[in-house]
A and B are shown apart, each in its own frame.
Chain A
């Protein structure tokens, strides 16, 4: 079980870390001060989730690794996040809609993981859920605000939807390891989660009067360590300090 569990903990941790890093890039670039602070605050919460998940992964790992090693010393093909979280931050509409998709996913996921048979994961989920709910309120409000305001804002969020939509199915992908954990009630059945997610998303997009793109390719690969070029650049930026000065501490 440990191998499957470590794999899933890393999937969750890598997702939170890459999402956090992209949001943190807004520091000093937010559309206005309050929003700059909000984006980086959400980034901080996600970094906290990543830390808890990496610590747990390190604890059960057969290898002698620390949470920091897992975050800073693994290369692209070892990362398991979905491609969605490594996409460049784009404009504010793009970041907002991406964040909404992920917040909606995380709220449903952590609400289900609270009942995980694996106690440490249930504890992390209980804590993360409180924060994620708050994030969802904000990203949802912003989707509505942008979609129902000026033509330019609406055009930008529609363009974001056209680009991002086909990255979302990957959130619900599973493999043999994950299916084993689902069978053991360590994690929820992601196909059920997907139905709930789709309901919520359809409702919001409808309220936003946005057009769901009809067809397109579907992103895949993160779970197997197959990533877009963007992750390499992100890691180069994020891991630079530990790579250049191994063991360096604040």
Chain B
């Protein structure tokens, strides 16, 4: 019996792309991070549009490779990734689910509202101090909790 091929749908591709995570924060998908902008099925294959986070972030190249590798693995041969410069990515694009994942991973999610305290992801205390405005990657700052004394990463607010 001949195999029946279903046409590829955008929803299917998006579901596959859930497996593509931020290489430096491997719990959050590029969709939850707000980097995945658009997926479209075109005559010559699948076009995935992404928004770069920080202009110099070296993870962007890896993300592009990971997108292609994942879709190739799912049997899609013709995949193109386009890096768009507009709209500019902001941390407001990070989904609620993504924020929960960051917190569970030990990274305090960005606080876009001003004057909001940065809560420790370990003990939830808001008695915290900024140690350095920059952390292990371009998107993070380094904080310390004055109650449980643990240092932690804070995902910088970027709006």
Mark A residues whose CB is within 8 Å of B.
34-35, 37-38, 41-42, 44-49, 51-52, 120, 123-124, 126-128, 130-131, 134, 137-138
Contact = CB atoms under 8 A, between A and B. Distances in A.
Nearest to A126: B88
B134 A37 contact: yes
B133 interface: yes
Contact of B85 (A41, A42, A52): A52
B86 A126 contact: yes
Which 10 pairs show the lowest CB-CB distances between chains A and B?
A: A48-B55, A48-B56, A34-B132, A44-B56, A38-B134, A41-B134, A123-B85, A47-B56, A127-B88, A126-B88
Contacts of A34: 131-132, 134, 142
Contact of A134 (B55, B133, B135, B142): B133
A134 B156 contact: yes
Contacts of A124: 85
Interface of B: 52, 54-58, 85-86, 88, 90, 131-136, 138, 142, 156, 158-159
B155 to A, nearest CB: 13
Contacts of B133: 38, 134, 137-138
A37 B136 contact: yes
B56 A123 contact: no
Contacts of B90: 130
A130 B138 contact: no
B55 A49 contact: yes
Given A45-B55, A48-B54, 10 more contacts: A37-B134, A37-B136, A44-B138, A45-B54, A45-B138, A49-B55, A49-B56, A130-B159, A131-B54, A134-B156
Nearest to A127: B88
Contacts, number: 60
Contacts of B58: 44
Contacts of A49: 55-56
Nearest to B137: A41
A137 B58 CA distance: 24
Contacts of A45: 54-56, 138
11 contacts: A38-B133, A44-B57, A44-B138, A48-B57, A51-B56, A52-B85, A123-B85, A123-B88, A126-B86, A127-B55, A131-B55
Nearest to B136: A37
A111 to B, nearest CB: 14
Contacts of B142: 34
Nearest to A35: B132
Nearest to B157: A134
A52 B55 contact: yes
Instruction: Pick from A44, A46, A124, A128 the residue with the most CB of B within 10 Å.
Output: A44
A126 B159 CA distance: 10
Contact of B55 (A35, A37, A51, A120): A51
Contacts of A46: 56
A132 to B, nearest CB: 10
